[in-house]
Amino acid sequence: MVVEWWNTNRQMDLLEYQAKELFRETGIPVLPSQKIRCPQDLKGLKIPYPIVLKSQVRAGGRGKAGGIRFATNTIDAIAAAQAIFNLPIQGELPDVLLAEAKYNASQEFYLAILLDRTARRPVLLGSPYGGVEVTFTQDKMQRVVVDEEFSPFYARRLALKMGLTGEAIEAVSTVIKRMYRLFVQQDLDLVEINPLGIRHNGEVMALDGKVTVNNEALNRHHHLTRLLQERNLEEPVYSGVFPSHDFVELDGKLGILCNGAGLTMATFDLVCEAKGKPANFLNLGSEQTWYGMDDDPLERLRLGLEAVTTSPNVSVVLVNLIAGVTLCQDIARTLVEFSEQIDRPCKWIVRLVGGDVVAAEKTLKQANLTSVKSLDEAVSLAVKAV
């Protein structure tokens, strides 16, 4: 059953507002919305009333549990937000709510794309009975297996099996095609819209959505890792990007970030010899690894910086990178940008080797990040700074 499959994969679900960000980027129509981090945020609401406030938790059944409420003015909205923020749904409290314009649909559908692991083929699911009361009985849920290269034929076939007629066929088929593109491009496990609202004039709107990320594909989609980390998961998901032997967490206060196994272990050994206590060490991989991936190598660096600074115990970060193709200036700018965004004070000791290093050192100095040429000096400064 689809429901059972969801329950085992909930930890990789994006929240609704994150799923809708992907929908918007893919051209799937979504309503104007705004994230609410506390009830007082509603005083600055840019969306006209009436609105709907939705609890952003992974748990299902939000509507029946009271996690989705309508409001027609600011006073009602603040009261509703206070109630939702304090309402656990299946043990989960929301960190953020989604405020969205109210939409009056004449009909609601259910659409989903997921991988049939038995057939090893994508499957399109659709029902003309979407919304809270959607059921997964065989007579109401239509199914189309994509057994060859995807074409619009599959989308129209599902729309026809759902009983759609007239202009609704093309409108819903277009949404299915875009869902499939998102599913394939992001290597996802599930893309779901429930409900897809449709009006008498033929306008369609994704009123709720779910996206389940494939853990094995995270090393190819670092932006999805960043979305997952926005949700205060019980455990960081860096394991999907950096193998356990490349990112090791310890109990000290000094984070170590290098590229290449040899350089990483040499830096770690020198820190330990100097009586330093690492909080962790991370090997970003050699540049060959960086450029063997589809993503921007600087994005990999940003993820590495997030990993080594995740622990609140980390007060000093030692960065030791040898660049070949990547310019040191680009690395320096990334380090400065990250250091300015981190929400707590942290001492940075940076040793860069590679092209454009003089300009990089100037950039680091201007941002008050310590830059040194010698590894021994970098280790000494880092250990003393803890």
Per-residue model confidence (pLDDT) at position 131: 75
- Spatial separation of the C-alpha atoms in residues 246 and 379, rounded to whole Å: 20
Confidence of residue 4 (pLDDT cuts 50, 70, 90): very low
Torsions phi, psi for 52 (to 5 deg): -120, 135
SS3 content of the chain, % helix, strand, coil (to 5): 40, 25, 35
State yes or no: pLDDT of 125 exceeds 80: yes
The packing angle between helices 167-185 and 16-26, to 10°, is 110
- Nearest 10 degrees: CA dihedral of 360, 339, 290, 188? -150
Percent of the chain with pLDDT over 70: 89
State yes or no: pLDDT of 124 exceeds 70: yes
Per-residue model confidence (pLDDT) at position 8: 45
pLDDT tens-digit map of 55-111: 999 887 898 899 999 999 999 999 999 999 999 998 888 999 999 999 999 999 999
Q: Partners of 321 in the beta sheet?
A: 352
Q: What is the mean pLDDT of residues 190-199?
A: 95
- Spatial separation of the C-alpha atoms in residues 371 and 275, rounded to whole Å: 21
200 vs 211, more confident = 211
Confidence of residue 234 (pLDDT cuts 50, 70, 90): very low
> Which of helix, strand or coil describes residue 29?
coil
pLDDT tens-digit map of 331-370: 999 999 999 888 778 999 999 998 889 999 999 999 999 9
Query: Which tokens is 119 given?
Result: 């057939």
108 within 8 A of 130, measured Cβ to Cβ:
yes
Mean pLDDT for the chain? Answer: 87
- Spatial separation of the C-alpha atoms in residues 137 and 142, rounded to whole Å: 9
Q: Which residue has the tokens 């019980």?
A: 234
Confidence of residue 223 (pLDDT cuts 50, 70, 90): confident
pLDDT tens-digit map of 368-382: 999 999 999 999 999
